[in-house]
Amino acid sequence: MTRDRQAEARQHAWDEAIDGFLGHAGVEKGLAPATLEAQRRDLEHLRTWALAHGLAEPAVVADTHLRAFLLDSSERLVAASRARLLSTLRSFFRFLQAEGRRDGDPTATIMAPRRGRHLPDVLSVAQVERLLTWGDASPTGLRDRVALELLYGCGCRVGELCALDVADLDHGEAMVRLRGKGSKERQVPVGEPALAAVADYLRAGRPRLAGRRPNPALLLNRRGGRLTRVSVWTLLKTAGAAAGLPATVSPHTLRHSYATHLLEGGADLRIVQELLGHADISTTEIYTHVDRAWLAEAWRSAHPRSGRR
């Protein structure tokens, strides 16, 4: 076999294993397309590194190889991405072991790095109210107002917002159907301001954006297509700057603010978990830390023995 044919065979062995794993993860586990794409990138980085180090197929990879790969990768990845990379490697090699494609799991002896808990950025109620004044009577202005109202009023992710169809809103019950991670659906209440903004947009904005092009999407761009994540980020940056908000404001900032304001208002943590679509309560518990940080700041500002007065 020529050297080129050998290289092709090694590449094929890795590609076959990666495609098999991603097919399993997509069908059996129902992972979201964005998650599958992130896992594919991680595994393609592993494949490139492994072939450069003479590892012809996943079956010959040992824990020492993975430690070296993770060390090399650490320079280009932030902490959250490093943790995701290791999680992908665990799932990949456990799949190969279960399928009988290799002996043992080389990730079994690798400990996950400790991750510091980052407290999310949260807007005050006054800041949110300033932001929600954004939008004029133009079709895109009415649409932008709906996007902002739903991001904060429902606590939805930007992907969930862009995936909304007109039929997902039940005006009579004041509920919206969101499709979250893993294609899981949940019903979330919608407030009167958001419903009023949607009604204005459906009456005077969306028909002009849609034209004669049929599209089930709720939020449309100027060409009548579904609004994208990038467009939502752009409109939020523009609206945030006009409202005098920090430059770091993002769609997830509104989601964080939604959860924090609910807890500050007395909502039960389990209820907030359901509203956010978190599979694990530990993910939602980050907002109790935000709440405590807010309480501590209030104490430092007001208590005579805090040392700040």
Q: How confident is the model at residue 309 (pLDDT cuts 50, 70, 90)?
A: very low
Phi, psi of 168 (to 5 degrees): -80, -15
Mean pLDDT of all residues in 206-228: 93
Which whole-number Å values give the CA distances from 269 to 102, 123, 209, in the listed order?
43, 19, 40
Q: Which of 17-26, 98-107, 116-125, 232-241 has the lowest mean pLDDT?
A: 116-125
Return the CATH architecture of domain 3-98: Orthogonal Bundle (1.10)
Q: What is the pLDDT of residue 28?
A: 75
Mean pLDDT of 241-269: 89
pLDDT digit string, tens, across residues 128-174: 999 999 889 999 999 999 999 999 999 999 999 999 999 999 999 99
> Where is average pLDDT lowest: 107-111, 131-135, 199-203, 291-295?
291-295
Neighbours of 278 (CB within 10 A): 17
d(CA 63, CA 109): 7
The predicted model scores a pTM of 0.61
> How much is the pLDDT for 78?
72
- Average pLDDT rounded to a whole number, residues 173-191: 87
In angstroms, rounded to a whole number, what is the distance separating the alpha carbons of residues 254 and 153? 9
Q: In what order do the strands lie in the sheet with 169-170?
A: 169-170, 175-179, 185-189
pLDDT value at residue 43: 95
Domain 125-302 in CATH 1.10.357.10? The answer is no
Sole residue written with tokens 């005098």: 244
Predicted confidence band of residue 80 (pLDDT cuts 50, 70, 90): confident
Say yes or no to pLDDT of 294 above 60. no
State the chain's mean pLDDT as an integer.
86
Span 247-264, mean pLDDT? 89
Is the predicted pLDDT of residue 117 greater than 60, yes or no?
A: no
Measure the CA–CA gap between 214 and 5, rounded to whole angstroms.
50
The C-alpha atoms of residue 169 and residue 197 are separated, in whole angstroms, by: 12
- DSSP, collapsed to helix, strand or coil, labels residue 75 as coil
Give the domain ranges of the chain: 3-98, 125-302
Three-state secondary-structure class, residue 1? coil
Give the SS3 label for residue 17. Answer: helix
Q: What percent of the chain has pLDDT over 90?
A: 55
Catalytic positions, written as ranges = 157, 181, 252, 255, 278, 287
- Encoded amino acid at 164, one letter: L
Segment 83-112 mean pLDDT: 90
The full DSSP string for 96-118 is HHHTTSSSS-TTTTPPPPP---P
Cα distance between residue 182 and residue 30, in whole Å: 5
CB atoms within 10 A of CB 275: 21
